[in-house]
């Protein structure tokens, strides 16, 4: 049972990674970081792959470790996609 669950989780994250490669990079300003919940609030530009205009909203982080190096006020570039039904930041880096 445990092994089945592990396989499901691994294949789920592989699917997410494959989708992320196609996702366009979007610019955003960090509004809030919640490392405990693995969530980040971004004031983001249009996200074409999610058919979304610019707005401020909360995203789940694909990996909470992604949030360690960013803080409110930072300019970032990110990709987002729907992973297991949740809008998720799949890549995140500080804008230079
Ligand atoms: Cu949005």
CATH number of the domain at 71, please: 2.40.50.320
Determine the distance separating the centroid of ligand 1 and the alpha carbon of 6, expressed in angstroms: 31
Q: Is the pLDDT of residue 10 over 70?
A: no
What pLDDT is stored for residue 20 in this prediction?
46
| Containing structural domain, residue 55 | 2-94
Residue 91's φ and ψ, nearest 5 degrees, are -145, 145
Question: What's the mean per-residue pLDDT of the chain?
Answer: 86
Q: Which two tokens stand for residue 54?
A: 């610019």
Query: Taking a C-beta distance cutoff of 8 angstroms, is the pair 72, 81 a contact?
Result: no
Determine the distance separating the centroid of ligand 1 and the alpha carbon of 57, expressed in angstroms: 5
Q: Which residue has the tokens 């669950």?
A: 5
Q: Is the pLDDT of residue 90 over 60?
A: yes
Determine the distance separating the centroid of ligand 1 and the alpha carbon of 3, expressed in angstroms: 36
Determine the distance separating the centroid of ligand 1 and the alpha carbon of 51, expressed in angstroms: 9
What pLDDT is stored for residue 96 in this prediction?
81
Q: Domain count for the chain, please give it.
A: 1
């Amino acid at each position: 049972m445990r092994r089945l669950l592990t396989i499901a989780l691994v294949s789920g994250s592989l699917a997410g990674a494959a989708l992320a490669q196609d996702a366009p990079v979007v610019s955003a300003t960090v509004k809030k970081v919640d490392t405990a919940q693995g969530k980040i609030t971004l004031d983001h530009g249009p996200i074409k792959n999610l058919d979304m205009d610019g707005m401020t909203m909360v995203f789940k982080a694909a990996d909470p470790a992604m949030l360690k190096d960013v803080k409110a006020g930072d300019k970032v570039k990110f990709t987002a996609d729907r992973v297991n039904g949740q809008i998720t930041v799949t890549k995140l880096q500080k804008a230079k």
